[in-house]
Amino acid sequence: MLEDWIVVTCGVIVIVCAFCITLIIIRRIEQRLSEGRYKMQVYSDLLHAVTELNLADNDQYKLDIAKKKLAYTVNRLNLVGSAGVLRSTNDLLDFLNEHMGKDFDTLRLHNILNTLVIEARRDVNPGHARSVEEAQVRYRFFSPPKK
């Protein structure tokens, strides 16, 4: 009788421990997925802000709005971006500060954006990023010709 009690008690303890461990694992997975979704949103917002900056051209009102969106996005990026994304963003901001309102090397901008996208992909989904890198894909971006 006592032995049955010990077996039942140990069984209940094992089940409770397994349940708690499963909940902890599920919670960690949910947290990683949530962080990944948020990072993806911030990275997308960064690319959108750069596109809006390009499309603003000489329209001062649109340019001011695009700069404001870029500033807000970079501030959020500083909180969640990986080291590679932050380095690429610094390169991008240096490039934009040097060439804002002037003719600039579109190829250099595309190279910086390519590096930024590669780093963002590595951060959000490393396995998929590796397969895309092995395929040697070059990302394309639209930049309207400067007048």
User: For residue 116, which phi and psi values (nearest 5 degrees)?
Assistant: -60, -45
Tokens at 109, concatenated? 């901008």
Average pLDDT over residues 13-42: 93
Residues 50 and 70 sit within 8 Å (Cβ to Cβ): yes
pLDDT digits (tens, 9 = 90+) for 40-57: 999 999 999 988 888 887
CB-based contact 84:123 (threshold 8 Å): yes
Please write the tens of the pLDDT for every residue from 88-144.
999 999 998 887 666 677 788 888 998 999 999 899 888 888 888 788 877 877 666
Is the model more confident about 21 or about 96?
Answer: 21
56 in Cβ contact with 62 (< 8 Å)? yes
How many other C-beta atoms can be found within 10 angstroms of the C-beta atom of residue 128?
Answer: 11
Q: How high is the pLDDT of residue 145? A: 56
